[in-house]
Structure formats: structure tokens, C-alpha cells
Amino acid sequence: MTTMQGNAKGYRVAVGDFDNNGYMDIAGGFGTDDVAGYPGSIKVWRESSTPSDLGVTLLFPDGGEMFKQGSAWFVRWTSTVPSTATGVEIDLEYSTEGDDGPWTSIASGLPNSGIYQWKVPDEESDDCYLRITISDAQGNSASDINDAPFGIGRTPGGGGGREPHDPIQINSDAEWTPANGVRRGTGTETDPYIIERWDIRGDDSTCISITNTRAYAVIRDCHLHNTTGLRQGIYLKNAENITIEDNDIDHTHHGVNTKSAEYRLLDNRIVDIEARGVMVGGGDNRITAIGNTLRNTGVYGFNLDGGGGVTHQGYWKYPALLENNTISGAVYGIYLNTATGTFRRNRVFGCGYGVHCTIGMTWDRAVNATFVDNVFTHNQFGAYVALLREDVDGHPYWAILRDNRFERNTFRGLWLSAGAEYTVENNTFALNPLGIDSLASGVQTFRNNTVMYNLGGIYLREKYGPGASDGITIEDNDILNNAYFGVRNDDAHAPGRVAGNYLGGTPGDDGDRLEGPIVGTFASTPNDPDTPDVAGNVTVIDAGTSVVIDSDTTLRCHYFVRKGGGLTIRGATVDIDGMWIAAKIGARLNITSSTLLDGLTVAVSTDLAEIVNSTFDGLVAGISVYRASPEINNCTVRNENGSYQPGAHSSKTKVVLEPAGIYLNGGTARIRGGRIETGGAFGVFAIGSTARIEDLTVLGNAWGVAARSGNLSLVDCGIRSCSQAGITNYDGWWHYGNLSITIDGCRLDDNEIGIELPVGEVGGTGTPHDIRIVDTTVSGGTTGLALEVDGAEIICSTFDRNGLIIDGSDLLFSGNTVSGGYGLVLHGYGLHLDNNTFNSNSRGLQVRDSSPIVVNNDFTQNRYGVYAEDKAQPKLRYNNFENNLDYGVYNDDSSTLINATLNWWNSATGPGGEGNGSGDAVSKYVAFTPWLLSESDHNGHYENVPPDPPTVSLPSTAALWFRLRGATQDPEGDIIRSVEVRVRNDTFDTGWLPANASWRDVRSRGRYAHIVDALGLAGRYEVSVRCHDGNDPSPVVTRDITVNVTSFEEHAPIVIVGDAGFTAANGVRSGSGTATDPYIIEGWDISSNDSASISISNTTAHVVIRLCHIHGNRSNDGIAVAHSRNVRIERCRLVDNDHGITVYQEGRVEIEGCLINGSGSADVYTRDSLVNVTGSAFWNGRYSLDMAGGPEIPLTVARSTFVGGALYLIDLNVTVRDCLMTGGQVIGGSVGGEGEYLFNITGNVM
């Protein structure tokens, strides 16, 4: 029955089925003199048709309701009863498992009254139905159930007696009427309007909307909900004097949403909300929220956003008060954006951020907040506070955190950022991975806090802006039993004041470790004798104690192993149950053949750790390593760290913990074997670590292996099905440089990007360098390789069904196969490509604004073999272009000419297109004559350096350098994997010994190199070298070389001025100084730190300096020649000098067969002198050649090898021919710009 109130002296109108015929009847009750003729009477208008069939319709519940266990509700129905029916009764039943039952009786044999008060049973289900059955004595019956399921649970649904009501909308003080749900009241402070005991399902409407009122009103004991989640429970705008009390609000978009309102929120239950539990929009709200429960409220519990509101002198007009609230299950428990207030005695748990306090985007409104006596536990972050120093009007930002507890949060207890003034006093930080994390740059005071049993205690990051670390005070805190460190400071400056802190013992020994610049005094006893009670939450294993777990168990607390203690887990299944196991520096930890379940992490900061043949299932981070070197062998990690959503970022506690299968921070961990399938962010995450990872399988993450700085080696690993990248330098926020990484023998399949190593971004500056990718296969995905690097070697690898993008310098790309994708896109300088195959790509090689050396490659069946654009000038030699669809070589830039001579175009008649032949086409602006008349043979041969003759003479401390040129595979296609060397003479034979390949020295894994150290004794030796492919025991190729080894004698530095200086005392062994009988200076070992080892000036006599070992400390020249003609330097080794050889002031010098290595400035430095260089090798100087002169001085450099150093050739006539150049840059031309100098480079391999 529905009742409506009239006006004047009052009447009532009721609508219902009074006679049970299935149709509505109307009854009117009239007061005295209201209506003439009906003084104090009741009038009924009845629909009088007679039903023929027995029937029943359930009115309430009808579906979508949520009832609290034990509450009382009225079940309502209508019925149709024929006049012939007798003995009519009602039976009520309910089901918690859907509309098919099973059914449980509520009551039977009830009178057909249309209403029954039902006490909701102690069940819990969201799939409940109520069935009503009507029957008569004649055996007829009919039933009905609710149209949609309703729910039963612990909340919501307050007390009984709530009646259904349509959504309420009040837009002025005149609309506080019974029709709008007002039960009583006059709207005054002492007699407010009361809206209570309604059950309102909003569906497409807000349940209660109140705008533009000043009347006093109370909304209480209502159930506000809807089924779509698109509307609000309560909406207030321009409303004051509202109290919202003891309501149940659920399944709405916002629970309570207010703008420019003044209200109190008391003891409400706001649960299962889509977006925001309580949304406070605008700085002119006044909210007091006390004793509320917010659970599962979507993104926000309380969202106080003052960004769009009216403020007073830069502040919120009315500071908020949140007190004694319980908040759980939101991304942000309390979110403050340009808001201010006091927050005390709240309990926030199970959220992403317990508190998230920022200034938002409106920097002209100050934010000040006081947090007192709150508990933040089991969140990802207890509290995050990021406030600027002051607003544009000079009003300061500040936050006070006092007497709070930050415990058992997943990543951080407290995170401070930006430049406000923060006061952190008398708080407890316990059992968090990181107690306090400060990125803030303002004044910060940490006083009288207890920081204990965290992985890291207080972390001061590098500071920016005014204040820096010297604005920080750390005073009278108890900082103890933190596994990794007590205080870590990454800033260059020490905190301004550190005094009276207790570290649980001697810092870095039995006490907590201090890291970074920290200067201060420390207490010998705790500052607070009443240490917060964490007993029962942590088990401490002290020095001299060993604990063994060898049977299945569940940990009910954290395990903390101190220095000298030991924990062994073997052959057991251990449920960590949300806890962690932490082993401090100097502790012993052994986990063998065990399974660890459902915890936070196993944290290792001790070198005395071994984790073998174990499984980690359901942990946030399976194994976390901090500055330690454990052994981790054959472990399986399956973590439950959540699915990564593209566009989201990881802002976790990278200093101590990252949601990864294995997390490495510093140290030199070694991981061998095993499998990681986390399904979340990272398989392996490494920061600043020198780690070697072998034979590990990683699959199904966002990023397979991520490394931020450090040195990482991945050997024989398999990484597949990663949604972002298989291997990356991304940490969740930025890409980081300063990373060296080796990827050897790995396979990456079906990752979005196979290997992604771009340059560091804003927060992660630097460029990845020393990148080595060897014998690795990358298949599938959109991009196989994306690099922005300084120094990379990509050798003998396969990239299939993807493509490559490389931007950088000092690149060697050798022996690779690129097929079935968009090819290689290349930009940078110092780029060298040889012996690669580019097959079936849209563009085999696409070059942008760079001049790479491209030799001995095969381009087959691409649309374009080589595509050059944006002033690119690749140097193409000895390549094969076969069956490329559009062009073998295409130049898109008419301002440049590409030199593509001496290539095979798939026809002896030469290229087609702009050429007249029938081979692969070339475009305009490509020089192709002459061309090869037959296919280029890339099969390599083994040769010695220095080159032939096969008999070479070396001093006893010299070395012999072997290089496998060209071939990286044997004729069967197997990759050459090993080199052996044998040294013998008449008296001994070393046998075949493995060669230690010096890959870095020659910048190539594909071109094997080996340094054979001479035996130090004079004599004649036979040196043999052979290499294998690893599959066939017989060698692929063998070469024998005869070496004459001479002995050295030490000699003081030699200084010769004028021809008279050529004496035995100055190292002259023989000769008369003529052209046919030159002076000979040989066999000397000379080292000088103060001057040149050999200095010759103002001479005309002929002299030969040979077979000398000349070395220094990079501060002086090796050999210096000035104003001297007829000087020849041959077969000398010059190491670690400033300049290896210096020639100036019209010197005339021939250099042949020398090895010059590691010069600080230039291997050969000349000014205005004539120097010819033949058959020499230059390694890793800053400049291999630094030559300058005039047009009248022709210089020649021939048949030499340059590794790593640049060739600086300015203002002279120079010819560089038949040389091998790897990893350096050629700089040449006229500095003066007069165009009179000749710069000629021909026939080189670069």
C-alpha cells in the first residue's frame, strides 16, 4: 500500500489491492471540514471486477537490493483470489544459489495480508531470490519470484523498517516535503528535517540530490544503491547544515559527492563503490567525517580536491576534519589535492596509497595537512606527500605527521617529495620494505621516530633545488634491525644535523648500516625504552642461533636473520602468508628444494646465501638481493604481482624492492638455470648490479629483464611473450643509460620489442654503452631491436619477422641475419656492417643522415636492398645485391652521391635502373662503376697481423695478434665458437691450449682475435692457431706462423741532439749513419715518466729504431722527433704513452710494422712534417692519427689497422689506402676552408 499526504488540515490517500482481485483500489481519509459532507470520514473507491484464477505478484524485494544479515524487512505482494476460493494461504521461501533453488522455508500457512516482516538470515550471497506461493483449499496454487537477484551480507542494510522510495531531488528550501522523503522536522537547528529509513535504488538517477538549501537536515538509516553504478548515492551542491548519518551506500559511482557544501558525515557504511567513496570537490566545502567505514570504493576512499573551489587567502576556506574513519580497498585511501585539514585516528589498510597528498595542478593554492595518531597498514604505500615549498603568493606548504603507525605496507611506509616543510615525529615505521623514502628538497625534520624491522630504514635520495640534504634533521630516532640499511643518503651532501640516533649497535656491524655521506653522533641505548610492540609480527634469529625448517609450515610473522644467525629451509613447503624472510649482512641463509608461497619476498643482503632448486609462488617479489653476491640456481618463480597495463608506470621502492621475479640491487649475484613467469611487471629487475644470468627462462611479463645501470650478462637465456619488451633499460618511470650489457646465446620470441635500450630520459640520464649481442635469436614482435647506444657489438645473431632501429655511435654489426620484417633502420656515426644477410624485408638497410661502412653483406629479395635518405652516404663495398624487387640501392637525397662501387648486382652486365645492366636496379645519385663481375665470396680466411711474411720477428714482451677476417661461420653454417693456440720449439711444446679471446680489443666477436704472449726468451718458435665450430672436432681452419723472439734490455731514456749524439751511450748498437749503414737502436725496454723515452732532434744522419718496447704512464711521449730527417721506426711496441710517436718541425719519418696501444692523446701526432705509415696497428688511443700540415707535404697511410681511435687529418695532402678501420671516426678536410688540400681515402674496409 502506498500512502500520500495532503495539505491544509490533512488528509491521507492510500492505494492498494484491498479485495485481492489483482487491481488497485483507492482509500481517502479526510479530516474535519476538509471536504464537505465527509467530516472525519474514510471513503473507498474499489475496482470491483472478480478474478477467475488464483495468482500472486511479489512487489518487494524485486532485485538489486542488498540486505544486511539479521536486519528486518517487509516482504510485500499482491494477489488475485477468485470468489470461490477458500482457505487461502501464503508460503515464503528463499534461495541463495539462484532462481532454481534449492529453497529454504521462511514461513508457511501465512494469511494473505500482502505484507510480512522478514528477518534476513545469516547468509552471504549476491544471487538471492525470494519465492512466494499462494494456495487454496481447492488445490489451486501460483508462485512468483523477484525479477532480479538481491544480495545478503554483513553490510550494507542497516536496521529493519526501511521502505522503498523513489530517488529524492531537493533543489530549494521549499522542497523539504513528505513527497521528497521527509519524515518530520521543520528545518531548524533544533528540529531538522529528517529523511530516514528509506531504501532508494537510483538506477539512472542519484539516490538523494540536495542543492541550493540552507535548512538543517539529517539523512540517516537509509539504504542508497543502484544497479548500474553510474549515479551517486548522495549529491550536495550549495547546501549547508546537512548531517549524513548511519546510512548504507553501495553500488554507486560516487558514494557521496559534494561541491560547495557544509556537512557532517557520521558513522556511514560506504562500500562497493565504482569510483569514489566520498568526493569533495572545491576548496569551499566544509566536511567533518567521523566514524565512517569506506570499503572497496574504487579509485578513491576520501577524495578532497580543492583545485576548482573558492579559497581564502590561498587556503581552503574550511579545513577538513577526518577522524576515526576506517578506509580499505581503494587505490587512494585519502587523496588530498590542493586541500588542507586535520586527519587523526583513522585506520587505512588494503589500499594502493593510504594517503596521497599533492598540490595537484593548481599551484596558487596552499596545502597544509596534519596527520595524527593514524594507522596505515597493509597498503602498497602508507602515505605519499608531495607539496611544493610555497604558492605564488608566498604562502608556505607544510605537513606534520605525528604519532602515526606505518606498518606492513608493501612498498613504502612514508614517501616524501617536492619542497615543502615536513615534520615527522613520534611515528612508528615497522615491517615495511622501506620505512621512509625522501625525495623532498625542503626542510625536513625526523625526530623521535622508531624505524625498525624494515628492509631499508630511511632513504634520502639525491636532492634537487634549494635546501638539498643540508636542510634535513635526523635526531633522536631509534633506527634498528633494518635488513639492508638504517640510513642511506644518495645526495652529495650530508644531512644538516644527525644526532642522538640509536642504530641497535655499532653502525655497520651489529647495528644498522649507514650508506653515503652521513656525519653525526649516535646513541648507545634506545631513545624510547617503550619500543613499539612488534612481538608476534617478527621472529629474530640472533648471532649464534640457527633455525632449520624442514617440514611444511605456515609463517605467522616475518623472519629476520641478524649477523651471525642462520636460517635453513630444506625440503619444505612454507606458506609465508604475506610476510617476508630477510637475511641481514653477515647472516647465513640456505634454501634448498623447498617451496615458498604467498608472501612479500625473500630479502638477501648477505653473501652467505645459497638458494637452490626451490620454487617461489605468489610472492610480490620472489627473491630480492641488496648489495650481496648470493648463488641462485635452478629456481622457479611464479609471482602474483598483478597484470601490467600499458600506459601505467611502476613507482615502486626500487632501492629495496620491485615487483619482479628476481630483484637485484647492487652486488654480484649469479643466477643459473630456472624459470620466471610472474605475469606482472618484471621477470628480473637489476639496478646497479654486476650480475651474470645463465640458462634462465623468462616468460609472460611486461618486461622480461630490466636493468637500470650496472653490468649485466645474459647467457643462453630464453625470454618470450612479454607485452612491452624482452630486455630493456626501463624501470617503470624512465629509460636509464649508463648500462653495460652482454646478451650471448639467448633466444627472444614473440615479445612486443625484443631488446629495447634507448637513451636515458629526464630522470634517467645517460646512454647505454658497451652493448654486446652475440649468437642471439630474436623472432616475432613489432621490433626485434631498438638501440640508442654508444658502443655496441651485434654479432652472429638472427632477427626474424620484425625489424631493427639503431641510433648511436661506435657500432659493429657483423655476421647477422635480418629477415621477414622492415629491416635495419640506422643512424649515427662510427657504424660498421659486414658479413650480414638482409633477406625478404621491406628495406634491408635504411640509412638516415649517416655514413656507415657496409662491406661483404648479402641483400636478397628485399623490396629495397639499401635505402638512403636525409643526406645519408653509406660506403658500400663487396656486397651482393640479388633479386631485390624495386632497387638494390636507392638514394632519396639528390644532394648526396652514394659510393657503391665494387659490388655484385646479380649480373656481370652491372646494375639496372640508372645503370645499363640487367642486375638489381640502382637509383639516381648512386656511383656504381666499377662493379664486380661475379658474386663476392665472403668466406673468411685466417691470417696473421702483422701480415705476411709468415715469419715475423718480435721482442720478448711483444704480442702476436690473430684475427679471423670475414667468416663467422664454417662452410656448414655453424658458428665458430672456439680458438686454440699451440706454441713449440726444439725443446718444448705447450700442446693445444684454449685461446683467451680479447673481443673488446678488436671490437668483434665475429672476428676472433687472440693475443699470444711471447715466452720472454729469445729464440725461434712455431705458433699454430686453429678454430672450431663446436659441433665437429676437426678444426675449421689452421694456420702456422714462425716467430723469432728477441730479448730486451732495460735502458734509460735516450736523448739525441745533433748527429754527434748517436753514440753507444745513447743506445746505438751499430751503424755509421749513412743510407746503406744507418745507426741501429734496437732491443731496448725504455720507460719514462718525465720526458720522452726516445728524443731525436736536429739530425740529418740515417737512423733505424726497431724492436723496442717503449712504455709510460700516459704523461709523456714514447718517441719524439723534431727537425730530424731520415728516421725510420719499425716493429716497435709503444704502450700507454701520451703520444706514441710525435713528429714536428719538418721531421721526416717512416713508420712500419709498429703496434701502438693505449695512448692518452694520439698514437701518432704530426705537425708540418712528412710521415708515412705502413703495416702498423693502432689500438684504443683517443686518436689513432692526429696529423696536420700543409699542401706541400704529402702523407701516406697504408695497410694498417685502426681499432677504436679517430683519424684526425686536417690541412694536408693525405692518402689512406688498404686499411682496416673499426670503431673510430675519420675527421678530415681543410680547417682554413681554402679548398687547397687533398684528402684521399681509397680501398679501405671501414
DSSP state at residue 507 = T
What class does CATH assign to 1049-1242? Answer: mainly beta
Give the mean pLDDT of 390-416: 83
Q: Check if 55-153 and 241-523 are the same fold.
A: no
Max avg pLDDT among 538-542, 842-846, 1162-1166: 842-846
Res. 998: pLDDT tops 90: no
d(CA 553, CA 555) in angstroms, rounded, equals 7
| Choice between 617 and 998, residue whose per-residue pLDDT is larger | 617
Predicted pLDDT at 1012: 40
**What is the torsional sign of CA 1011, 1013, 1018, 1024?**
negative
Q: What are phi and psi of 623, to 5 degrees?
A: -130, 125
Res. 1006: pLDDT tops 80: no
Res. 1158: pLDDT tops 90: no
- DSSP-derived 3-state class of residue 547: strand
Residue 1090: pLDDT band with limits 50, 70, 90: confident
Predicted pLDDT at 634: 94
What pLDDT, in 10s, does the model give residues 48-64? Answer: 667 888 999 998 888 87
Judge whether 584 and 559 are in contact, CB under 8 Å. no
Q: Tell me the C-alpha to C-alpha distance, in Å, between residue 723 and each of 661, 696, 726, 727, 735.
A: 16, 19, 8, 11, 17
Give the mean pLDDT of 617-634: 88
d(CA 267, CA 324) in angstroms, rounded, equals 9
Residue 942: pLDDT band with limits 50, 70, 90: very low
pTM above 0.85, yes or no: no
Which CATH number among 3.30.300.30, 2.60.40.3080, 2.60.40.10, 3.90.850.10 corresponds to the domain 942-1046? Answer: 2.60.40.10
Rg for the chain, CA atoms, rounded:
42
Judge whether 811 and 792 are in contact, CB under 8 Å. yes
Predicted pLDDT at 1167: 85
Cell of residue 648, nine digits: 601505467
d(CA 719, CA 706) in angstroms, rounded, equals 12
Neighbours of 892 (CB within 10 A): 17
Judge whether 827 and 807 are in contact, CB under 8 Å. yes
What class does CATH assign to 241-523? Answer: mainly beta
Predicted pLDDT at 66: 78
Q: Tell me the C-alpha to C-alpha distance, in Å, between residue 893 and each of 869, 871, 900, 987.
A: 6, 6, 15, 65
Judge whether 63 and 129 are in contact, CB under 8 Å. no
Max avg pLDDT among 632-641, 652-661, 690-699: 690-699
What pLDDT, in 10s, does the model give residues 106-163? Answer: 999 999 988 898 989 988 888 899 999 999 999 999 999 998 888 887 655 444 468 9
Name every residue whose Cβ is closer than 8 Å to that of residue 572 and which is 6 or more positions away in sequence: 549, 550, 551, 552, 553, 594, 595
Give the mean pLDDT of 428-450: 89
Res. 188: pLDDT tops 80: yes
Each domain of the chain, given as residue ranges in start order, spans 2-45, 55-153, 241-523, 536-603, 620-795, 815-938, 942-1046, 1049-1242
55-153: CATH architecture: Sandwich (2.60)
DSSP state at residue 883 = S
- Terminal C-alpha separation, the chain: 96
What pLDDT, in 10s, does the model give residues 255-305? Answer: 999 988 999 999 999 999 999 999 988 657 889 999 999 999 999 999 987
